[in-house]
Amino acid sequence: MPNQQPSLDLMFQALADPARRSMVERLSRGPASVSELARPLDMSLPAVMQHLAMLEAGGIVASEKVGRVRTCQIQPDVLSLAEQWINQRRTQWEQRLDRLGAFLAAEDEDTQ
């Protein structure tokens, strides 16, 4: 089943933490260094690195070290997998609600 893919599981795990979502939000505006990502967060640099490792394990973020600076950037293709999964669930529920609405409308007509 597509929703059982480990990459999707890791991605949702990575997005479960507010600090990591904050990093993803910042990276959605463009690449950033680890120190830039750490600046607004109330945590140590090693803690930020652990969060980034989780984002990388989920495939959401990629990083590259040039000299002493590690720069991170978002991987939009991976986020589109989550979007597809969510959209499939939404479509299923919309169809179910449409059928329920039609059923209730038919029941209402029958009682009048």
| Residues 14-46 pLDDT 10s | 999 999 999 999 999 999 999 999 999 999 999
| Residues 54-68 pLDDT 10s | 999 999 999 999 999
With 0.85 as the threshold, say if the pTM is over it.
no
Instruction: For residue 51, give the CATH number of its domain.
Output: 1.10.10.10
Domain count, the chain: 1
Reported as half-sphere exposure (CB side, CA atoms, 13 A), residue 47 has a value of: 9
Candidates 85, 92, 33; CA nearest to 61 is 33
Is residue 62 classed exposed, middle or buried when 0-12, 13-18 and 19+ CB atoms within 10 A define those classes?
middle
**Domain span at residue 44?**
2-111
What is the dihedral angle through the alpha carbons of 40, 75, 17, 34, rounded to the nearest 10 degrees? -30
Q: In which element (H, E) is residue 71 found?
A: strand 69-74
